[in-house]
Structure 1
C-alpha cells in the first residue's frame, strides 16, 4: 500500500493534519495504536488562535456549541467559600479578533468533532494499528504496521508525520533526542468525575488542602468535573477509590460524593523539546516534538498549530509542484515558537505554585497565552520589501487579522470568510489588487495600512510589498505559476 502521507497518532495534532490534508486532496493514512480516541478531558482550553484554525477547518460552530467560556475561580478553605477571582484576562470582540477569549471544551469532545469533520472529507482512522518498523530513503518512507490480531503489513509513503505523543515511537525510530527538565518534582493526578454536592457555576480550588492543592472544574456540555490534584508527598492513586480518597482528604466533600470516575491519569509536569523536528521524510509534530506543563493551556494549542503549519506545505509540494525545500520551513518556523511557548508554560506553572499558598491566584492568562501574537517575522517564508514600515504595523510573518473587506465581485465580506479554505489570498490595502492566477483570491481592505499582502493558507502574511512584480517569485516558491502580473 502507498499513500502520500502516513500520520501516526490520532490525537488533536494528527486529526487536525488529516483534516487539512483531506481538503487538499492529499491521500492520507491516519493510524492510532489505541482502539479508540483518547477518552479524557486533559487539554480542555482552546486559545483564540486555535479557534481561528478550527474556523478555517469548518468545525468552529460545533466547538462553540460544545463548550463555554472559562468560569470564575472559587477559592475554598475550611469548608467555606473565600471568594471568586478570574484566571482569564477577558477581552471584548474586536474587528480584528472575533474570538478573544480562551474556550473550554473537553479534549475528547474536540477530537470527536475533528473526527466527524475528517469523515465528512472522506477520511478515517485505523484504530488498533501500531507502527513497529520504519526506514526511509531519498524517495519514500517504508513503515511496518501491526494490527490487533498480530498481523503486519508494509506501507510506503512520500512523507510520515509523528503525532504519537511525548513517548513517540516514531521519534525514537529516527533517533531524534529530546532534551528537557522537570518543571515540578511533585506528581499530579487528573481525572474526570461525576459527583454530588458542588455547583457548576465556578471552577473550585482548595489551594491550602493537606497534601497539595486540589481543583474541580465543571466541563461544559457534560455532567463531569475535571479533578486536578498535586501531591506534595507520595504517588497518586489513579484507581476510583484513590480518586475518592484524594477528594475526601482535601475538600469538605465525602468520598461518596463521587458517583463515577470516568477517566484518570497521573503525570509529572515537565518541559522538553526535540533536537530537531525533521529527519529526512519524517516530521515531528505536537507532543512528539515538544512537551509542556499544562499551565497556561499551551500544549494542545501549539500542537494543533504545528499541524496547521505543516499541512498546507505538504499540500503545495504533493499537489501543486512546489519545491520540496518548502518543507524545510516547517522546522525553521515552528521550532523557535515551541521553544518560546515552553518558557511561557513553565513560567506560569512555577508562578502558580509560588502563589498558591496565598489563595491560589497564580499568573493570569491573557495575551501571553492566546497565541495571537505568534508569528514568523524574519522567517524563511516571510518577505517584507516595503520601506520604513513602523514596528507596530502589519508586516510579513504576522497573523493576518480579520477585517471588513471588498471581494473581487464587489461584495462586502469578512476577511476571515474569504480566507476560509486551502487557498492563498491577496489583500490590497490603499490600492487596487493586480490580476492574479486562477485559485488565488483577492480582496480590498482598508484596515491593513498600505500595500499588497499575500496571505498564506494558514492565515499568516507571507509577502508584504508595494510592487505586484514581487509576487511572481514568491508565488513560484509556493508552487503557484503566476506568469505576468499587472497592476
Structure 2
C-alpha cells in the first residue's frame, strides 16, 4: 500500500492543508493509547482535542486485569507507573437496611499476572498515558482543535506514461477548527454524564480552520461523537429512564471506606460506594424513575448538595454520613447504544464511547475503549507499512461489534440490579444474600470473575482468525482460535537463571508471536533440536524478508534484549527437557529467534494451550489473541503456518 504521504497535494496550500498518516480526534484514554501503540510502530499521528485542559473529574475508576495486561504489553514501565497510583479492591460488602448482610471476597483472576481490578481515577489514567505518548517523541496533544467535518475521498484513476492506468488510494479529508478567542465550548452544553446529543453552535464566534488529509481517521471523540453524527452513522439503543446521581467528593462517615460496597436502604434506594483515596469516594445513588417530562428534557439540572445529602443519609441510615466537599455532583443518563458500523469505508474508525456507550456499572467502558485501540492500532500500522492489505481494517468491525454488544448487556444487568426499587425485588435480594453469603465466597464474582476481568472476551473465525483446514479443534477447547492467548511462568534452561512470564516476552507492539510447543519430543527425538532450529531459521528469515515489519528504529522502542522484527519465535519445551537440550547453543540464540524456554513441572502452559504429545505451533496476533494453530512441529506444520501468513498479509 502507498501511504498518503507520497501523494501530491498541489490542490491545497501548506497554510490551510496538512497531511498526516493517522489523525485521531479525542485525547481521552482510547485516543491516547492508539497514539502510543502507533508511535511504537513508527507511525506518525496527530491528536486533536477540543478541551483546553484535562477534565478534573474522576470519571472511569477501574482498570480490569485484561486492560492491565495490555498496559504491561504496551510498556512495562507504563504498567509500573500505574501500579504506583492505584488501589486494589479485594472484596465487596452488601448492606441492607443498615446491616452488613454479606462480605464477599473477589475471586482472583489466577490466569493473569494481574489478579484484581485496580482503582485509578480517569484523571490519572489520562495523565500517565499523555506522559507515555510524549515520551515517544512522535507527537503531542493539540488542544483547542475540534473536528467539524470529515469524508472519505475515493482514489482517482491515473494514466501512466506507458498508457496503463492505476487507481490512487483513497484518503480521509477532515476539517478542523480552533476558536480565535476563548474556547470551543458552547453555551448550553449538557453537563449530564452519558449525554449523546450534539451540542449546538454559538453565533458570531471566529475560528481558525484547517483541512487535514490522512490515511486513517480514528474517532475517539466520546458519546456525542461529531464524527458519528457527520457521517450519519446510526446509534441505536435505549436511554434508561432511571434517575441516577453521581457524586465524587470527600465525606465523613462511620461506614468502612477500604472496599467497594452496595448499600440497599430501607427507603428502597440503593447507593454504590467506590473508595478513591482516603475519605474521597464515588457514589452512584438511585433516585427513582424520571417522569415523562423529565425524560424528554434530558434532566439537565444539577442536583443540589442539600437534596443529595438528605437522600444519601436516608439510604445509608442508621449509619452516619456527611458530605464535606465535592468535585462532581450530577445526574447520570444511562445510554445503552452501539453504532451500526465501527469502520466507514475502511478509512474512518470509531472507538470507545463514540462507538458504544452504556452505564458505568461494572467499570467496563474505559476498559473496552482501550481494548478497541489495542485491536485496531496494529492493523492500521501493518496497512501503512505495506505488510497487510487495507481489508485487514474490516476485521476491527467484525471483532469489536460483538464485544460491544456483550459489554452493553453485562452493564445493563448490573445497572438493573442497582436501581431496582421494587419492594419484592429488594426483599428477594436481601434474602438471597443472607442465605447464600457463605456460598458466594466461592463463586467467581467481582473483579476477578472472567466477565468482569475481561479475560474471556474472544473473537471468532474471520479473514484473520483461521482454523487449520485438515485439523478440527473445538471452539470450546483451551486456547482455541480467537481466544486470548494464555499466560504463565516460563523457566530458563539453566537452573540458576531467573524465570519469566510468557507475556513478558511478548511486549513488542505490532509483532506476531509464534509459539512452538515441543511437548516431550526433545527428550524422545535426538535430532529434533537441530531440525527445529533449521525450520525456525528458514521460515522466520523468509517472513522477515517478505514483510519487513512495523517496528520503529527509535531508541525508545528497541529493547536490545528482544528481537525487533514482527515475527517472533519462542520454543516451549517440557520441564524435563533441560537434561537433553544443548544449553550452550540455545542460550546463544537471541530471544525471539527460537530460544528455548521450559514449561513448569506440571506442564501448565502446554495444558492451557491444549497441546498434546505431538506438540504444536500457535500463532498469536500482535494483540495477543490466537489466530492460527497446527497440531505438529514438523516441516509440514511450518509450511502450513507459512501458508497462513501468506493468506492474511500482502504478497511479497
Q: CA deviation at 1:479?
A: 4.5
User: Do residues 282 (structure 1) and 370 (structure 2) align?
Assistant: no
1:34–1:241 Cα change, 3 Å: farther
Query: Secondary structure at 1:156's aligned position in 2?
Result: strand
The residue number in structure 2 matching 1:387 is: 471
Taking the aligned partners of 2:35 and 2:330, their CA distance within structure 1 comes to 27
Partner of 1:219: 276
1:417 to 462, 479, 504: 504
Pairing partner for 1:143 from 171, 174, 177: 174
Q: How does 1:61-460 map to 2 (within 5 A)?
A: 61-70=80-89, 72-76=91-95, 80-86=98-104, 89-91=106-108, 93=110, 96-122=111-137, 123-138=139-154, 139-149=170-180, 150-182=207-239, 184-198=240-254, 199-208=256-265, 210=267, 212-220=269-277, 223-233=279-289, 237-241=302-306, 243-252=308-317, 257-280=322-345, 281-354=347-420, 356=426, 358-359=429-430, 364-365=445-446, 366-385=449-468, 387-390=471-474, 391-405=476-490, 413-422=500-509, 423-430=511-518, 432=532, 434-435=536-537, 436-437=540-541, 438=544, 439=565, 440-446=567-573, 447=606, 448=609, 449=611, 450-460=615-625
Mind listing any 5+ residue stretches in structure 2 that lack a counterpart? 1-17, 155-169, 181-206, 291-298, 434-439, 522-531, 545-564, 574-605
2:455 and 2:28 map into 1 onto residues whose CA distance is 23
CA contact (8 A) 2:146 2:178 kept: yes
Match of 1:28 in 2: 45
Q: Return the offset for 1:60.
A: 1.5
Q: Does 1:55 align with 2:72?
A: yes
Q: 1:14 to 1:240 in 2, by over 3 A?
A: farther
TM-score, normalization by structure 1: 0.89
C-alpha displacement of 1:331:
0.3
Matched, 1:469 2:639: yes
When Rg is computed on C-alpha atoms for both structures, the one with the higher figure is 2
Q: Any unmatched runs of 5+ in structure 1? A: none
Give how far 1:349 is off.
2.3
Offset at residue 255 of structure 1 (A): 11
CA pair 203-4 structure 1, distance change in 2 beyond 3 A = same
Tell me the TM-score normalized by structure 2: 0.67
Q: 1:242 to 1:118 in 2, by over 3 A?
A: farther
Range with bigger deviation, 401-410 or 50-59 = 401-410
Matches of 1:255 and 1:81 in 2, distance apart? Answer: 13
CA–CA distance in structure 2, aligned partners of residues 228 and 368 of structure 1:
21
Deviations 1:53-105 (A, max 9, x none): 11111222122221122254444566x4434423x641263xx4212322222
Match of 1:16 among 2, 12, 33: 33
The number of equivalent residue pairs is 476
The structural deviation recorded for 1:4 is: 0.8
Note closer, same or farther for the CA distance 1:8–1:239 as it changes in structure 2 (3 Å cut). Answer: farther
